[in-house]
Amino acid sequence: MDVKRVKQILSSSADIEVQYHGTSVWIDQLHEDGKIATVHLRGPLEERSEVAIEDLEEV
């Protein structure tokens, strides 16, 4: 995924499904470098991870 699309998803009020290696995640924030995003799993677990935005995929 590119940085422009990550920013669009973050600013959208719509529920846009994004996956990280086949697992649905929410994007929490985009880091200043534009290459890393903080995400957490959809569902009851709030575990957050920092991932490369190139590994994110819109479904």
**What pLDDT sits at residue 42?**
86
- For the chain, the domain total comes to 1
* Domain, as residue range, for 28: 3-58
How far are the Cα atoms of 1, 42, 43 from residue 56, in angstroms, in the given order?
A: 6, 14, 18
* Helix, strand, coil in percent for the chain, rounding step 5: 20, 40, 35
Contact by Cβ (8 Å): 37, 28: yes
Give the integer Cα–Cα distance in Å for 36 and 44. 23
Q: What is the CATH number of the domain that holds 25?
A: 2.30.30
* Predicted TM-score of the model (pTM): 0.88
Could you read off the pLDDT of 5-36 as tens digits, one per residue?
A: 999 999 999 999 999 999 999 999 999 999 99
Contact by Cβ (8 Å): 37, 53: yes
